[in-house]
Amino acid sequence: MLINLFNTVRSSGVPCTLRELFDLLGALENRLAYANLDDFYHLSRAILVKDEKHYDKFDKAFEIYFKGIETLEDIFQALIPEDWLRKAFEKE
């Protein structure tokens, strides 16, 4: 999931490296942001953006990536295909 966000941020002109992506992954593993999109936004911006002149670019990239997603349920619907859920349900 995060590699696509990382690529979106980079393609928007924010100069971030794999080191920042790994730092973000480490922060998420330590639950610095959990199940809250606003917390994740602030955490990812703090880690991926090193110069405030890139905040607008990051905001646009974040909006593009998470367009239409406002709750945790929306994230699951976007990430987990419905046919996969149906097959898993039928299997059980």
Round to whole Å and give the CA distance between 34 and 47. 16
pTM over the 0.95 mark: no
Comparing 70 with 53, the larger pLDDT belongs to: 53
Quick one: DSSP state of residue 34?
Answer: -
- Check residue 68 and give its pLDDT: 56
Beta strands in the chain (DSSP E): none
Collapse the DSSP code of 8 into the 3-class scheme (helix H, G, I; strand E, B; otherwise coil) and give the result: helix
Q: What is the pLDDT of residues 12-53, one digit of tens each?
A: 999 999 999 999 999 999 999 887 888 999 999 999 999 999
